[in-house]
Each structure stands twice: as structure tokens, then as C-alpha cells.
Amino acid sequence: MATTANDKAPVTNKISKAGWYALTLVSAAQAMSLLDRQILSILANDIREDLGIGNAEIGLLYGTVFALFYALFSLPLGRLVDGWTRTKLLAICLATWSFFAGLSAFAGGFALLAISRLGVGIGEGATQPAANSIIFDMFPKSRRGIGMAGLGVGLAIGLGLSMALGGIVAQWWNQIYPDGNAPLGFSGWQFAFIVAALPGFPLAYLIYRMKEPVRGAMDGLVTPEDPHPFRASADVLGSVTPGTNWYYLWRRDASAKQWATNLIGLAVILLSCLALVRLTQSFSPRPSLDIYGLAIDPHWLQWGVAAFGAFVVLNLFQSFKLKDLPAYKVILSPSLIMLMVVGGLQTAINYGVMAFTPTMLITDFGLSQAQAGVQFGLLAAGLGILGPLAAGPMSDFLANKLGQRGMVFLVLGSLAISPFFGIWAYNAETVSDFYLRFIVYSLILTLWLPPAYALMLGLVLPRMRGITFSTYMIIQTLLGLGLGPYFVGIVADQNGGDLAQAIISVNVVVPFIIVLLLAVLVRFRRDEANMVERARAGGEQI
């Protein structure tokens, strides 16, 4: 697909009314995404008691099980973002994951709850690629830090609502029906899933009717309409899915070297998975999960999903090389790949913190479910709003003064110092001390997201933003959702349930984050400057 250069690109810092309206709706979709994804954390105690599972299994439900289909379907949906009407796609996906979030209410065991989480993962696969792509085509380049901050605000609101709403609704329902005689036999946590799912449907209608922006107009790189977006999306799905990927390698006349890379890569992934299963089994033995009569070791499930996702990523880049060489040459740049890994590792910390902090407040400080939900949920929401609102203008200011590398300095500074404040916060002896310390910790921690997203999407052509962000999302999912909650869960189970110290332990990834960001500082200018040249070398007509 050719990209057309347009010298009449808008030269303005003004954000239109349509841009603000679009930001409001897609930020609301982001909020719904986090609400339906995160509500599991405040309901974890009740779910664990009802289903008879442990912290490691909660980590699987919260992260790994959700990540399985999210990782797979985010890629074809990201390709569809780049070729079809983004507003309609986002609306359809929002309605889909809202349905599956509501399905969680009918779970009487681990299996159906896991299936509902898979469905939420499928639906949410297009959320961030579509939202980011829409905002980049509605906001001028000099104001995109504000746009990314707005999306961050949506995520924060959803995060806060998930805990406040979940805690209040579940406790209220249990107080009304203390003897288990509720309609349909619902317990409080089941009713909370229904309440969380319902707002998604009217929001989906509003987004469906929203006007689609012109792709690439803000960058002067208008992309012609894709004649076959669904075929291209199906090709991506077939190319990355383990098993069918070999048919696509054969159909595209892959060389012997590419076949060898694929098969050797698969062998390395499987051997690594086996080693990690044995390591975690010895560190934290867990009873098997009963899934429709099948006894499955949770460690095998955890690392099997991770291996699946890693093979999907390998297949994706091979598919790029065979089918879309310009995208391969643009996306496979050192700065972009390192930023993706940084985002994934930092997300492991974020999700490890957010998955188990509500439970820690209940077990360590004696808060009720409603108290923990309201207090921590509203605090997290408020801080999550303030952080991006500060980071957005800071990102734009530093970019104007120092070039895009100014944003790298902001990401590096916030992530390098945040672990020290995390250790300080989670060693608090009273709940009031914890909240005061967590305010400082959270404000520092939330500064990284808007500049990191702006940096990543600024390193690719407009027509590649959907698939680029989907590629990032699968890496973020594998390292973040797939590793963070599970890691905290098994450490907590192993150390006698000490959630505070288990949450602190996830900061072990910070030295890797710092090294990668220092490398990005060295490489970024070069990779930014030769982006168009690399696209042309792959055959892009610009």
C-alpha cells in the first residue's frame, strides 16, 4: 500500500472540536477496557474463596489467561485498524468484550471464568491500536503528548472505577442477600461483573456513529483506502497462528533460511518454556487446575501461553518480511523494539502492583472490600489522571526543546527512580502512611506512558500505526500481564502470603529497563531520521 506525500499537511497547534470529541469517546473506551479487565483484582478474595483457588491462579486469570487471545487477536485487529474504519471496529470490539465481561457473572468454576477472560482479551485487542491511531490523525504533531495524556486519563479512570465500583457493588449485594438467596444465585462478585459490563453497550453506539478521521492527513502522508482490509487481517491471523503459519510460509515461497529460522526459533522457545516450568514448579509447587475434567498444572499453563505468544511474535516478523517489507524495515528498528520491551517490562511492574494491592490492603491493614475498593480505587484514579496530565505537556515541552529524545529523558528519569519510592511505599506500617507514600510513588510512575507511546508511534509511518501498536501490545502483554501478576502471585504463595514484599520483588526488572533506555538515547535520532529512507528501501512509494 503506497503512502502519498502531501505538502498541504495542516500546520497548526489547534485541536479541533472533533478532535476533543474523539478524545473523549476513545478515552471512555480505554476506561471501559481497564474497568472490565481490572475489576478482577478487587474481587479476587471472594473469587478465590468461592472457586477454591490460590494467588497464583488469580494471577493466571488476571494476566496469563487474558493474555492468550489478546496476544493473538491484537495483531489481525491491529492490521484491520490500519485498513478499515477505525470507529466502527472499536465500537464492535467494545460491545464484544462487554458481553464477555458480563459472562463472568455466570462462572461457577475456574473454566468458565477463564473462557470469559479469553473473550475479553479478544475484544480488547483493537482498543489501544484504534484509539492511538484515531488520536494521531485528529491531533497535530505538536499536541500529541496531550492526546496520549488524555488516553492515559481514560485508563486511570477505568482503573479507579474497577476497584471502587467493584468493591462497593459486591459488598452492597452481599449485604442485601447475606444468606445466598440472591436472584439467579449470584454472589456479590458475580453481580459486580454485570454492572461493570453494561455501560459498554451505549458507548459502543456513540463510537460507531463518530466520524472517521482522514488517515495520515496530520502528517502530510495521506494513505489511500485499503481495498481488502479483511483479507489482509485474515492473512495476518493465519501467518502468526502456530500451525497455520507454516502453510503461509509455504504459500509465500519462504527460503530455506526462513524455514530454519522458524523451526529453530520454535525449538528454542519450547526448551526455554520447559526450563521455566521446572524452575517455577520447584520454587512454588501448585496443585493442578481442574478445567472441564482435565488436570492442568498452572505453571504449564503460564509458560505455555508465554511460549505461544513468543512464537506468534516470531511468525509476525517473518510475515512482515515476506508480505510487507517496508513495515518490516520500519518496525524492526533498534529504538522501537527496545521501547516496546521497556514498555512490557514496566507494565509487568504496573500490573503486579495493581493486581494485588487491593488484596494487600484487605489482608495487611484490615480494610473491608468496599473500603479498599473506594479508597485505593479513587486514589489510583486521581493519581492516574494527574500523572498523564503532567506528563503530556512535559513531553511536548521537552520534545520542542530537545527534540524527541527529550521524551526519552522523561521516561528514563521516572522509571529509574520509581523503584526506590515503591520500596518505601510498600514498607509502610499504617494504611495512612501507605497512601501518602503511594501518592509520591504513583505520580512518578505514571510519567512514562504518554512520552513512551508518542515515541513509539512517531517512529513509523501513519499506515503502520495500528499494526505497530498491536506488535507492542503483544510484547507488553507477554512481559506485563503474562509475567507481572503471575510473578507476584507465586512469590506471595511461597513467602507465606506476604503480598507487600512480593509486590516489591517485581522491581527486579528495573536494571534491564535502564540499560535499554540508555541504548535508546544513543540510537533514537538515527532511527527517527532514516525512517522514510528505510520504508523506501522496502519498496514504499513516498
The residue-averaged pLDDT of 403-428 equals: 90
Beta bridge partners of 221: 5
- Can you spell out the DSSP letters for 251-267? HTT--HHHHHHHHHHHH
Range with lowest mean pLDDT among 59-68, 412-421, 450-459, 496-505: 59-68
Of 160-164, 241-245, 260-264, minimum mean pLDDT range:
160-164
Q: Is the pLDDT of residue 43 over 60?
A: yes
Give the range with max mean pLDDT: 6-20, 414-428, 444-458.
414-428
Residue 4 confidence (pLDDT) above 70 = no
Q: What share of the chain is helix, strand, coil (3-state, %, to 5)?
A: 80, 0, 20
Predicted pLDDT at 119: 85
Ranges 76-80, 82-86, 353-357, 493-497: which has the least confidence:
493-497
Residue, of 408 and 389, whose pLDDT is higher: 408
Query: What is the SS3 assignment for 403?
Result: coil
Q: Is the pLDDT of residue 218 over 70?
A: no
293 in helix, strand or coil? Answer: coil
pLDDT band at 453 (very low <50, low <70, confident <90, very high): confident
- The residue whose grid cell reads 473473550 is 119
- Give the pLDDT score at 256: 93
CA dihedral 434, 32, 199, 204 (to 10 degrees): 170
Mean pLDDT of 137-159: 78
Highest average pLDDT, of 242-251, 287-296, 444-453, 471-480, comes from: 242-251
Contacts of residue 115, defined as CB under 8 A and 6 or more positions apart, other chains included, come to 103
Q: What type of residue sits at position 58?
A: I
Give the class (CATH, top level) of 4-537.
mainly alpha
Q: How far apart are CA 193 and CA 189, in angstroms?
A: 7
Predicted confidence band of residue 62 (pLDDT cuts 50, 70, 90): low
d(CA 252, CA 232): 14
The arithmetic mean of pLDDT across residues 309-323, rounded, is 87
Residue 289 per-residue DSSP state: E
CA distances to 168, 303, 395 from 182, rounded to whole Å, are 17, 38, 50
What count of other Cβ atoms lies within 10 Å of the Cβ of residue 285? 12
Helices and strands of the chain, counted as H and E runs = 25, 4
Q: What value does the mean pLDDT of the chain take?
A: 83
The partner residues of 428 in beta bridges, in order of sequence, read none
Higher pLDDT, 520 or 214: 520
pLDDT higher than 80, residue 442: yes
Q: Assess whether pLDDT exceeds 60 at residue 3.
A: no
Mean pLDDT of 502-506: 90
CA distance 117 to 130: 21
The 10 Å CB-count burial string (b at 16+, else e) for 446-480 is bbbbbbbbbbbbbbbbbbbbbbbbbbbbbbbbbbb
Cα radius of gyration (the chain): 22
Q: What is the pLDDT of residue 540?
A: 79
Residue range 108-140, pLDDT digits in tens:
777 788 788 888 888 888 888 888 888 888 887
Residue 167 confidence (pLDDT) above 60: yes
Cell numbers given for 469: 501498536
Q: Is 197 helix (H, G, I), strand (E, B) or coil?
A: helix
Residue 533's alpha-carbon distances to 7, 319, 463, 539, in angstroms, are: 18, 21, 16, 10
C-alpha to C-alpha distance for 408 and 134, rounded to whole angstroms: 23
pLDDT digits (tens, 9 = 90+) for 183-196: 667 788 888 888 88
How far apart CA 326 and CA 177 sit, in angstroms, is 60
Rounded Cα distance, 100 and 37, in Å? 11
Q: What is the DSSP letter of 93?
A: H
Residue 261 has pLDDT above 90, yes or no: yes
Q: How far apart are CA 407 and CA 404, in angstroms?
A: 6
Question: Quick one: pLDDT at residue 1?
Answer: 55
3-state secondary structure of 63: helix
pLDDT for 477 equals 77
Q: Is 252 exposed, middle or buried (0-12, 13-18, 19+ CB in 10 A)?
A: middle
Higher pLDDT, 530 or 355: 530
